[in-house]
Structure 1
Amino acid sequence: MTAIKRTQNFDLSLPQIHFSKGKLLTDELHSKFPFMLRDEVGEIGIEELVGECLSIHLRLREPLSRIVNAPCIYTIGYVETAERNMFHQTDESLKALLRDGMQNLTLNIHAWLTLPTMEIVDFSLPTTYAVVNRDQQGVGAIIANHPDSLVRGLKYHPMLVGESFLRRIGALKDFFAL
């Protein structure tokens, strides 16, 4: 709810959001998930996941919405682990990005998809973490769970919803085919 209010307070476009109770990420869906995703978008390479959370989650939002039969919310924020905060942002740092735009080609921010049940689906963090830390165990893994059920001190901190922030700071452009 704080991310929704912050998005409004920053005068950013707010996507339509419909919350629901229950769980969309069932054990049955978990077992079919990789195959359903592959059928929707094809094979996804490691290079499309490592450090590409902004683009991959935009690309996968609609296919995931079809798979779970519910709208997914593009969510921007940071992740807390037992060791440290990753991609940490504050209100002040987000406001500075809105005021100044992107000043270089890198952006220390994270994105994931949130289901109407508040379950989190993150396609990129496990692979990025595994590659950066030279640990093959996490390559290709997906975080798909309710925030209350995450383990090992992992916490997601949503800061904004929707992609209008990325458009405003110049991290996302619209392209039109002729």
Structure 2
Amino acid sequence: MFLLKKLKSAFIKKYSDKNVAYPGDYHRTFIEARERTINFGLEVDSISFKKQTFLSDMESASKLAQVLSEFFIENNIRADDVAGQCWRINIFIKNFLEEHFGVPLVLTIGYIEDYPNFDYYKMTEAEIATLLNSPMGHNGNCAANLHVWLTLPSMEILDVSFMTSFGKVNNKPELIGTVVYGPPEKLSTPNFNYKPMVLGEHFINRVGLNNAFIIIDSIQE
């Protein structure tokens, strides 16, 4: 039940003031990630961008908190199923959230810039190419230094795993179950600059990451 409580508390809190430190253009980098994905020969679904927002008011965020929390309880999802399992949990909840919102969501692979001090799960284009060009791919049963979240057609972000991983690594139980969500320029966690690199589940399958886990030690303070 701790996860339910933390999810609700994360969504119910008010948005912070506009994050003036946020230096990126998420829409632009998302389009670049789509082009990069295609250039790597990976499949990616067509994307229809929408001006309509889905997580920009308290009513919609609170409703999502409720249904997502219920979904986690019904499927017995625990913190250990989330920490270091970012692609698994996002793939698992993607269809459910698409039904909830009534629009397709995009599995987004990349890293987080904690502006201006640190990058979490920094993955370069060269490293992506190395993974894709290796005959063995990632070879499955080991750790990977990357991050996965979901992007809505409004370019709003929903990240259910990062803060739980961070909380477990840094012994901050109060963060476990916290969700990062909303428009990139007004995230519920200030100064986070999400950097998409490639899009879609095809990348996960192509490089054999299905049986791997995330290097959560890389998010130590």
TM-score of the alignment, normalized to the shorter chain, above 0.5: yes
SS of residue paired to 2:143 = coil
In 2, Cα distance between the equivalents of 1:122 and 1:153?
15
Residue 104 of structure 2 aligns to a residue in which SS? coil
Aligned-pair identity in percent equals: 32
Cα deviations by residue, 1:67-118 (Å, 9 ceiling, x for unpaired): 1221111100001114311111111000000011115511111000000000
Aligned mate of 1:73, from 106, 129, 137: 106
> Are positions 1:170 and 2:204 aligned together?
no
Q: What is aligned with 1:31? A: 62
**Counterpart in 1 of 2:13?**
none
CA distance in 1, matches of 2:101, 2:85: 23
Match of 1:121 in 2: 158
Using the size of structure 1 for normalisation, the TM-score is: 0.91
Residue 176 of structure 1 is matched in structure 2 by: none
CA distance in 2, matches of 1:55, 1:123: 11
Deviations, residues 16-75 of structure 1 (Å, cap 9, x unaligned): 211101311131121122221134452421011111101000001111111122111110
Q: Aligned partners of 2:100 and 2:180: how far apart in 1?
A: 16
How has the CA–CA distance of structure 1 residues 170 and 46 changed in structure 2, closer, same or farther, with 3 Å as cutoff? same
Matches within 5 A, 1:1-178: 1-25=31-55, 26-41=57-72, 42=74, 43-82=76-115, 83-100=117-134, 101-103=137-139, 105-150=142-187, 151-172=189-210
* Range 54-63 or range 13-22, more displaced: 13-22
Count of residue correspondences: 173
Structure 2 residue runs without a partner (length 5+): 1-30, 212-221
> 2-side partners of 1:132 and 1:68: how far apart?
32
Bigger drift between 88-97 and 141-150 goes to 141-150
TM-score, normalised relative to structure 2:
0.74
5+ long unaligned stretches in structure 1:
174-178
Match of 2:132, SS state, is: helix
Q: What RMSD, in angstroms, separates the aligned Cα atoms of the two structures?
A: 1.5
